[in-house]
Amino acid sequence: MTLSARNKLVGKIEELQSGGVMAHVVIRVGDNLIESVITKRSADEMKLKVGDAVVAIIKSTEVMLEKS
């Protein structure tokens, strides 16, 4: 599959909570966590489970930065 998004982060699913319509997915990328909310149907079709390797693809018109 070819995508125009350039921000791809490889990680593993650390937590997965499915509700009636939506699923909350927590992905560990190195020392960081990325959270995503997708439809439960998509999570079921992808057969997502804790420990699965996934790629978080971030497509956004805005990215905020913080300097520490």
Q: Report pLDDT for 5.
A: 79
pLDDT of amino acid 3: 82
The pLDDT-based confidence of 28 (bands split at 50, 70, 90) is very high
Domain 7-58 has CATH 3.30.428.10: no
pTM for the model: 0.85
Q: To the nearest 5 percent, what fractions of the chain are helix, strand and coil? A: 10, 50, 40
Separation CA 20–CA 31 (nearest Å): 30
Q: What is the chain's mean pLDDT, rounded?
A: 93
Average pLDDT (14-20) is 97
Task: List pLDDT tens digits, range 33-42.
Answer: 999 999 999 9
Q: Residue 13: what pLDDT? A: 98
What are the residue ranges spanned by the domains of the chain?
7-58
